[in-house]
Chains A and B, each alone.
Chain A
């Protein structure tokens, strides 16, 4: 399993915890349009991702992350910093 696969598996697990509507999730799933999360849910999800990977995702950075796939890549970049 590559590092990316491992990150993907952890992130999909976290998405599932917040995916109350049971929407099918893939790498191209969009957080705002597809998962229909409100701002509080987004914040809690971001906090959960930060805790899992011990990173900070600023609001500036979060605004650029639209899909599950882009989050997997962004977490990788942030861990590498």
Chain B
């Protein structure tokens, strides 16, 4: 085979560094050979609202975004972003510790402190970097990070970036966490990492028990509330607030790319020495800060999330109705009861999952197709993420689409 000019290829079928990806290449090619549309190449040609876009020329209801609170088209949020773009330009071109801290970054951190009622807030360029930075910086050599086996990739990558000893325990298993904490050296530094809502199945952690056990064993606790911010808890502060343990949590990690409706990440804390992290946390120091327009939209959106009780109530109503409706149709769901804005519909295998995903798209519904290694226990699932702006009528349409597609594909 001759390589195109400028493109190198290994000679004569020799092995190269791409060989390790071959199993994934084979799975993808086998799937596409069945004629299914590539589930990972969807393009939104036009976005009409938080719940509707034009995909492949067709009106499509969006049920696979993280736009839980529907903030992406809020007029106040958009106005703040436009003003910041005009007044401060398109980007900062620098790190937060050099030229990259603008008034807007400070205002955004103030909004986070107000929202969580905490003393300190640090904004990162993504939620991924927030976990990467805090975990790798806090847990050093000879310290222990104790984490749920189903933790998000950013948590695992934070562990990989640091030098700590890593101990995993079975998903949401309080007893397994306690057993491991008991066996660790009493004098060692310990960081327990938990999530409020786990993103694949949409299930909630027993934070009340887990935080209490962690504190009893002298561990600091970090809770990632990416999928609960704005929606769960009386003030939308997440599962830790809902279960009454927010004051015992040392670090709350979150993101702007879900309920806040833009992009970015953060950590809030009451620890008196927290501010030193701005100088020692590499994923904060060695990257460019968020554009002024982004932090301006985030700050306004966060303030609006505090007073969004009506939206929270409507989102819960949507979650209960969709969960109950799908169950009634005969689908297998990731949780027995609706626990969050995420409802996972379990598919028998990747082929059926991809076929169902495509059938839903043809009906005019977009959901996420999730498969290993992102999913637990080798599952393939269709992940539905509800938005507070889905109307009652849209939830009815969604159920009708699931029924039609499910029968056509033979899943129900």
Contact = CB atoms under 8 A, between A and B. Distances in A.
Interface string B159-175: 10000011111100000
A73 B368 CA distance: 45
A47 interface: yes
A47 B165 contact: no
Contact of B179 (A51, A58, A61): A51
B183 interface: yes
B139 to A, nearest CB: 12
B376 A58 contact: no
A58 B176 contact: no
Interface string A27-70: 00000000000111001100100110011101111000000000
B149 interface: yes
B97 interface: no
A69 B149 CA distance: 26
B167 A58 contact: yes
Which of A43, A59, A60 is the most central at the interface, judged by chain B CB atoms within 10 Å of its CB? A59
Contact of B165 (A43, A51, A58): A58
B180 A59 contact: no
B43 interface: no
B156 to A, nearest CB: 9
Interface string B263-290: 0000000000000000000000000000
B183 A50 contact: yes
Given A43-B149, A43-B170, A54-B183, A60 B165 contact: yes
A60 B166 contact: yes
Contacts of B176: 47
Binding site of A, secondary structure by majority: helix, strand, loop or mixed?
A: helix
B184 interface: yes
A64 to B, nearest CB: 12
Interface residues of B, number: 17
A13 B127 CA distance: 44
A44 B168 contact: no
B374 to A, nearest CB: 12
B91 interface: no
B378 interface: yes
Given A38-B378, A40-B377, A43-B149, A56 B166 contact: no
Contacts of A56: 167, 180, 183-184
Contacts of B183: 50, 54-56
A59 B170 contact: no
Interface in B176-205: 176, 179-180, 183-184
Contacts of B169: 47
Contacts of B144: 58
A79 B200 CA distance: 37
Contacts of A60: 165-166
Nearest to B156: A59
Nearest to B377: A40
Contacts of A50: 179-180, 183
Interface in B312-328: none
Contacts of A59: 159, 166-168
A43 B167 contact: no
Given A47-B176, A51-B179, A56-B180, A40 B376 contact: yes
Nearest to A55: B183
B46 to A, nearest CB: 40
A43 B376 CA distance: 12
Nearest to A41: B377
8 contacts: A40-B376, A43-B168, A50-B179, A56-B183, A58-B166, A58-B167, A59-B168, A61-B165
Interface of B: 144, 149, 159, 165-170, 176, 179-180, 183-184, 376-378
Closest 7 CB pairs between A and B? Answer: A59-B166, A58-B165, A56-B183, A58-B167, A43-B149, A40-B377, A60-B165
Given A38-B378, A43-B149, 9 more contacts: A40-B376, A40-B377, A40-B378, A47-B169, A47-B170, A50-B180, A54-B183, A55-B183, A58-B165
